[in-house]
C-alpha cells in the first residue's frame, strides 16, 4: 500500500493540468472568452494560414482553438490540409493527452491502494474497488491467470459507496495486518466472505477513503470497478465494469507461458 496523501492534497490538485506557460503569455480576449465558458487552455502551437493554435481541455477532452489573424475571432474544431490530413491531432496529443495521462497516473500512484500481485510485474492496473461489488469480484477472478503468472499487479483503490457497510469493509481491509492477504481471502470467498466491517472508522482511514472517492469522481468514474491502465503508447485508458472475455487481453497484456 502506498504512503497516504492527505485529503487537502487531492483538493489542491483538482485542476489536473497546470498551465505555467500562461503566466508568460497573456491570452487574447477571444480565447479568454472560451475559458470563461469552462475550457482550460493548456498550451499554444503554430498553425498554418496565419492562425494561432491553442490546446484546451474541456470536460476531460482535448479541443483545439484557432485564433484568426485579426485576433478577434476563434474557431473551435479540427483543421485539415488539402490532403485531408488532420493537423489538430498531434498538438492535442502532445499538449493535452500526454500530460493528462501522466498526471492522472501519478495521482493513482499516490492514492491509497492494496497491491495484488508481484511488485516487479511488467504491467500495473488500477481499479477502484468496493468490497460489496460483485463485478469487482468478477474482475478479480478474471485477472488470476495474469496475476499468478507475475504479468500483472492489480492495485485496488478502495472506496466505500455501494452499501452502508462498504466503507467499514474497505477500512477493515486497509487496516488488516496483511491487506493483500485479507483482500484475496475476501474475494476468493465471494458471497461467502466473512469480512466484518469496522463500525467506527479511524479519522485517518476515513480520510483515505474519502480521498479515493474524490479521485474516482475526478477520473470520470461513477461505478465500480473502474479500471485504469496504460496502453502500448503510454496513454491512459479506462474500462468501466468487468471486461468481456474478448477485451481482457487488451487490458491485461500478453499472458506468459509458465
CATH classification of 7-100, choosing from 3.40.640.10, 3.40.605.10, 3.40.30.10, 3.10.450.70?
3.10.450.70
What pLDDT, on the 0 to 100 scale, is given for residue 26?
Answer: 87
Q: Can you give the residue ranges of every domain in the chain?
A: 7-100, 111-252
pLDDT, position 25: 62
Give the span between the Cα atoms of 230 and 208, in whole angstroms: 24
CATH code of the region 111-252: 3.40.30.10
Residue in this structure with the C-alpha cell 482535448, named with its chain if needed: 62
Determine the angle formed by the axes of helices 166-175 and 179-189, rounding to 10 degrees.
140
CB–CB of 43/54 below 8 Å? yes
Q: What is the pLDDT of residue 97?
A: 85
Determine the pLDDT at residue 201: 97
133-185 pLDDT per residue, tens: 999 999 999 999 999 999 999 999 999 999 999 999 999 999 999 999 999 99
What pLDDT digit, counting tens, does each position of 55-100 carry?
A: 999 977 899 999 999 999 999 999 999 999 999 999 998 998 888 8
Amino acid at each position: 500500500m502506498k504512503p497516504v496523501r492527505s485529503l487537502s492534497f487531492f483538493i489542491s490538485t483538482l485542476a489536473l493540468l497546470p498551465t505555467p506557460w500562461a503566466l508568460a503569455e497573456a491570452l487574447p480576449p477571444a480565447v479568454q472568452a472560451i475559458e470563461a465558458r469552462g475550457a482550460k487552455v493548456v498550451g499554444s502551437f503554430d498553425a498554418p494560414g496565419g492562425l494561432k493554435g491553442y490546446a484546451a481541455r474541456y470536460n476531460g477532452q482535448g479541443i483545439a482553438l484557432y485564433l484568426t489573424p485579426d485576433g478577434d475571432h476563434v474557431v473551435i474544431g479540427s483543421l485539415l490540409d488539402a490532403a485531408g490530413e488532420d493537423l489538430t491531432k498531434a498538438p492535442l496529443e502532445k499538449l493535452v493527452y500526454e500530460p493528462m495521462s501522466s498526471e492522472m497516473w501519478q495521482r493513482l500512484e499516490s492514492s491509497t491502494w492494496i497491491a495484488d500481485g508481484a511488485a516487479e510485474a511488467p504491467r500495473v492496473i488500477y481499479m477502484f474497488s468496493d468490497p460489496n461489488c460483485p463485478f469487482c469480484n468478477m474482475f478479480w477472478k478474471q485477472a488470476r491467470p495474469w496475476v499468478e503468472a507475475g504479468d500483472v499487479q492489480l492495485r485496488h483503490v478502495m472506496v466505500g459507496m455501494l452499501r452502508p457497510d462498504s466503507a467499514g469493509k474497505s477500512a477493515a481491509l486497509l487496516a488488516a495486518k496483511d491487506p493483500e492477504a485479507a483482500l484475496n481471502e475476501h474475494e476468493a470467498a465471494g458471497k461467502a466472505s466473512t469480512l466484518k466491517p469496522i463500525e467506527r472508522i479511524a479519522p485517518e482511514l476515513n480520510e483515505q477513503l474519502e480521498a479515493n472517492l474524490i479521485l474516482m469522481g475526478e477520473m470520470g468514474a461513477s461505478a465500480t470497478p473502474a479500471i485504469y491502465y496504460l496502453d502500448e503508447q503510454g496513454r491512459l485508458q479506462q474500462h468501466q465494469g468487468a471486461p468481456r472475455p474478448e477485451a481482457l487481453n487488451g487490458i491485461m497484456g500478453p499472458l506468459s507461458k509458465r
